[in-house]
Amino acid sequence: MALLRALIGVLFIAAAAAIVVTVVLASNRRRGFLRTLYRLRRLLLAITRDGRHPVAVERDGG
């Protein structure tokens, strides 16, 4: 079970990294780039803190 949870976490991190690379390549604006990095950092912190996706954490109420 823990292995499955870790694998899912890694997949979410990989997906987030792919999204960031796509956004950075599509947009050369510095402000948009920094905002994207900030959102990615918040997303990764939310995932790694609880080991679940942030949407699931919000849905479970905590």
Host domain of residue 15: 2-60
More confident position, 32 or 2? 2
Nearest to 25 by CA among 36, 14, 15: 36
Expressed in angstroms, the distance from the first to the final Cα of the chain is 21
pLDDT at 22: 77
Q: How many domains does the chain fold into?
A: 1
Band of the pLDDT at 62, cuts 50, 70, 90?
A: very low
Please count the other Cβ atoms lying within 10 Å of the Cβ belonging to residue 7.
Answer: 10
Give residue-wise pLDDT tens across range 3-54.
888 888 888 888 888 887 777 777 666 667 777 778 877 877 776 666 555 5
Task: Name which residue leads in pLDDT, 35 or 62.
Answer: 35
CA distances from 7 to 2, 14, 51 (A): 9, 11, 10
Say how many CA atoms lie within 13 Å of 20 toward its Cβ: 18
